[in-house]
Amino acid sequence: MLRRFQAQIRRRRGARGTHTVAIAVIAGGPSPTHPPQPPSRPLASDKQIPPASTSSTKAPFFTTPTPTSLLLSTRPSSPIPAPAPAPMASTAAPPAALVARRAASASAAAAPLRRAGLAAGCQPARSLAFAAGADPRLAVHVASRCRAASAARGTRAVATMAKKSVGDLTAADLEGKRVLVRADLNVPLDDNQNITDDTRIRAAIPTIKYLLSNGAKVILTSHLGRPKGVTPKFSLAPLVPRLSELLGIAVKKAEDVIGPEVEKLVADLENGAVLLLENVRFYKEEEKNDPEFAKKLASLADLFVNDAFGTAHRAHASTEGVTKFLKPSVAGFLLQKELDYLDGAVSNPKRPFAAIVGGSKVSSKIGVIESLLEKCDILLLGGGMIFTFYKAQGLSVGSSLVEEDKLELATSLLAKAKAKGVSLLLPSDVIIADKFAPDANSQTVPASAIPDGWMGLDIGPDSVKTFNDALDTTQTIIWNGPMGVFEFDKFAVGTESIAKKLAELSKKGVTTIIGGGDSVAAVEKVGVADVMSHISTGGGASLELLEGKELPGVVALDEGVMTRSVTV
């Protein structure tokens, strides 16, 4: 199939030359002697470096990703016949000159830290690389903490200028203290109010257990669903048995969020006990971030821990408002882990770094694609959005989903990938159907040969192989969005194949990050969720963080210089 498709491309291209694609390994990330670890913050100098020219000969816009596409050089091939662009876009990756410039720039930015002693066992992080403007006392302080953390045999310290974490609080800080914990316990319930997936409850347990083990009194607050006022079916009462089981203690439940009765329950709490407040969204003031409501909620506690990554992109009373009245306000373990992977590991990855972006519409992933083009070496696109890219190249897409008002945008994104030196791959073949239904008639065709009346619903086998070959060259991968309509078994093969490939690579030490949404459902469906390096619990929050946006619930937390000991 691939040879036939390449022959078609040659017949169409005429005398224009093509370029093979270079995939360069960018300096950075953990030492080769260490397993991939999610660095919490990247070097500042790793961002926004102008791309160097990839060749003196102007390349045509697209090339067919043959095995020679994975060479560590960029060179023109011999001329071949024709004018129509291939449906598979592949743009040149960073040349050696750009690699050297990035490495030199990163080294220069890290110099003040090395002089402060960080090189003795601490991996520099972007937020610490404030170069000549750095406060030398802060640099020395961080270096001291790194050396202390590295003193234990078999560990190395990773310095992070990030949000203060619950792990920074000791028994002296927590014993006898009332701690308001904003968790994301928004779990699905069936018609009988039974929990059908307790993933989010289990994700909140480490933070709660840490607080309890240090003698704190935990006051849990969360939302469930989108209630309009007090709605019994959205009560948090069904969560109490599972919480109690996982924590190994009897969790108490309040019938309200604020008020005299809640205050009495809090006053009666003993050290090491947990009180679950009612659904915080029963109050409209929650989503309005009403300061009076936030003040009343905050008055129940002495300090605040935000462990609800799924709502961190919302400036609500229980995520952002309470931080104005409670100090310290720190990140829980789950929130910190999400930031380490979705911000740290993505912004300063072990390279080569690949991003896989799928989904039905370009419009819903514009920000993610643009942000990832600044960071990744390889970008693989799948899902319904690919047909907008095909049509932008002048290809027939039959009755496939197309956003007509995004054709110009698709063209600009392809041009941006080329300018940035990112190898961007579109599927070369697709599985098409005569209707949008699980029992539709289907066939596999080249992406350039979709007939009228048919629609693309999955990527084809040649594309799966090409994508997998590209992923084999990487050390860090993030995936956001399915490759096809994976809800229909007949059109789930592409998505499931990618999930299995990531699981295989994860076992080999590649950092694999599942960036929330349908991608999470896909890896869970295939049964490989436990193998991935990290699975994000956020939907909208994951997307906004990947887009490079600030999350109000994170911005509001206390800053802190931290070190993490990593086993080697």
In a shared domain, residues 191 and 298: yes
Which residue has better confidence, 278 or 536?
Answer: 278
Residue 70 has pLDDT above 50, yes or no: no
Question: Residue 78 domain-assigned?
Answer: yes
Q: What is the percent of the chain with per-residue pLDDT over 90, rounded to a whole number?
A: 58
What is the model's pLDDT at position 406?
94
In a shared domain, residues 78 and 218: no
Tell me, yes or no, if 200 is annotated catalytic: yes
Question: Residue 99 domain-assigned?
Answer: no
Question: Residue 86 domain-assigned?
Answer: yes
CA 9 from centroid of its chain's CA atoms: 35
CA 489 from centroid of its chain's CA atoms: 26
Pair 51, 419: CB distance under 8 Å: yes
In a shared domain, residues 318 and 454: no
pLDDT in tens, 329-342: 999 999 999 988 88
Which residue out of 456, 494, 517, 538 is catalytically annotated? 517
Pair 532, 503: CB distance under 8 Å: yes
Kindly report which listed range (88-102, 205-219, 367-381) carries the lowest average pLDDT score. Answer: 88-102
Question: Residue 248 domain-assigned?
Answer: yes
Residue 526 has pLDDT above 60, yes or no: yes
In a shared domain, residues 199 and 298: yes
Amino acid at 425: L
Pair 142, 116: CB distance under 8 Å: yes
Helix orientation angle between 366-373 and 407-420, rounded to the nearest 10 degrees: 10
Amino acid at 16: R
Residue 36 has pLDDT above 60, yes or no: no
* Placement of tokens 């972006």 in the chain: 357
What is the model's pLDDT at position 365?
87
In a shared domain, residues 533 and 557: no
What is the model's pLDDT at position 561?
56
Pair 310, 200: CB distance under 8 Å: yes
Query: By CB neighbour count within 10 A (0-12 exposed, 13-18 middle, 19+ buried), where does 74 fall?
Result: buried
Residue 548 has pLDDT above 70, yes or no: yes
In a shared domain, residues 309 and 362: no
Of 504, 387, 408, give the one whose Cα is nearest residue 450. Answer: 387
Which residue out of 121, 540, 548, 560 is catalytically annotated? 540
pLDDT in tens, 117-129: 333 333 333 222 2
DSSP letter at 170 equals: -
Residue 35 has pLDDT above 70, yes or no: no
pLDDT in tens, 300-347: 999 999 999 988 999 999 999 999 999 999 999 999 999 888 888 888
| Other C-beta atoms lying within 10 Å of the C-beta of residue 33 | 6
Residue 379 has pLDDT above 70, yes or no: yes
Residue 188 has pLDDT above 80, yes or no: yes
What is the model's pLDDT at position 69?
28
What is the model's pLDDT at position 517?
72
Amino acid at 145: R
Residue 403 has pLDDT above 90, yes or no: yes
- CA gyration radius for the chain? 26
Question: Residue 179 domain-assigned?
Answer: yes
Domain that holds residue 525: 2-28+62-92+358-537
Contacts of 90 (CB under 8 A, 6+ apart): 21, 62, 63, 64, 65, 69, 423, 424, 425
Q: What is the pTM of this model?
A: 0.67
Pair 298, 175: CB distance under 8 Å: no
What is the model's pLDDT at position 66?
32
Both tokens of 120, joined, read 């003795």
Amino acid at 390: Y
Question: 3-state SS of the chain: helix, strand, coil percent to 5?
Answer: 40, 15, 45
Amino acid at 13: R
Which residue out of 361, 490, 500, 525 is catalytically annotated? 361
Residue 421 has pLDDT above 50, yes or no: yes
Q: Which long-range contacts (CB under 8 A, 24 or more apart) does 137-145 make?
A: 138/561, 139/112, 139/113, 139/115, 140/116, 141/561, 142/113, 142/116, 142/118, 142/561, 142/563, 143/113, 143/116, 143/117, 143/118, 144/117, 145/561, 145/563
Angle of CA points 187, 190, 195, to nearest 5°: 40
Question: Residue 36 domain-assigned?
Answer: no
User: Which DSSP string corresponds to 300-312?
Assistant: T-SEEEE--GGGT
In a shared domain, residues 321 and 362: no
Pair 412, 362: CB distance under 8 Å: no
Average pLDDT, the chain: 77
CA distance 505 to 496: 14
- The H helix count followed by the E strand count for the chain is 19, 18
In a shared domain, residues 414 and 519: yes
Pair 372, 546: CB distance under 8 Å: yes
List b or e across 290-318, with b for residues whose CB sees 16 or more CB atoms inside 10 angstroms: beebbbbbbebbbbbbbbbbbbbbbbbbb
Of 485, 257, 449, give the one whose Cα is nearest residue 360. Answer: 485
Helix orientation angle between 199-213 and 240-247, rounded to the nearest 10 degrees: 50
Pair 515, 479: CB distance under 8 Å: yes
What is the model's pLDDT at position 215?
97
Q: Is the dihedral of CA 54, 56, 60, 61 positive or negative?
A: positive
In a shared domain, residues 364 and 430: yes
Residue 56 has pLDDT above 60, yes or no: no
Which residue out of 200, 337, 375, 418 is catalytically annotated? 200
Residue 29 has pLDDT above 80, yes or no: no
What is the model's pLDDT at position 518?
82
In a shared domain, residues 277 and 424: no
Residue 49 has pLDDT above 60, yes or no: no
Which residue has better confidence, 422 or 1?
Answer: 422
Kindly report which listed range (130-139, 415-424, 456-465, 533-542) carries the lowest average pLDDT score. Answer: 130-139
| Other C-beta atoms lying within 10 Å of the C-beta of residue 508 | 8
In a shared domain, residues 370 and 288: no
In a shared domain, residues 322 and 364: no
Domain total in the chain: 2
Residue 254 has pLDDT above 80, yes or no: yes
CATH code of the domain in which 379 resides: 3.40.50.1260
What is the model's pLDDT at position 206?
97
pLDDT in tens, 241-251: 999 999 999 99
Tell me, yes or no, if 361 is annotated catalytic: yes
Question: Residue 304 domain-assigned?
Answer: yes
pLDDT in tens, 428-444: 999 999 999 999 999 99
Residue 51 has pLDDT above 70, yes or no: no
Residue 415 has pLDDT above 80, yes or no: yes
Both tokens of 135, joined, read 């406060």
CA distance 369 to 364: 10
Question: Residue 130 domain-assigned?
Answer: no
Q: Which long-range contacts (CB under 8 A, 24 or more apart) does 51-57 make?
A: 51/94, 51/98, 51/419, 51/420, 51/421, 52/94, 52/95, 52/97, 52/98, 52/101, 52/421, 53/95, 54/19, 54/22, 54/92, 54/95, 54/421, 55/19, 55/92, 57/17, 57/19
3-class secondary structure, 35: coil
Pair 320, 556: CB distance under 8 Å: yes
Query: Which residues are bridge partners to 477 per DSSP?
Result: 354, 512
Task: Give the pairing of strands 511-514 and 534-535.
Answer: parallel
Kindly report which listed range (72-81, 136-145, 182-191, 470-479) carries the lowest average pLDDT score. Answer: 72-81
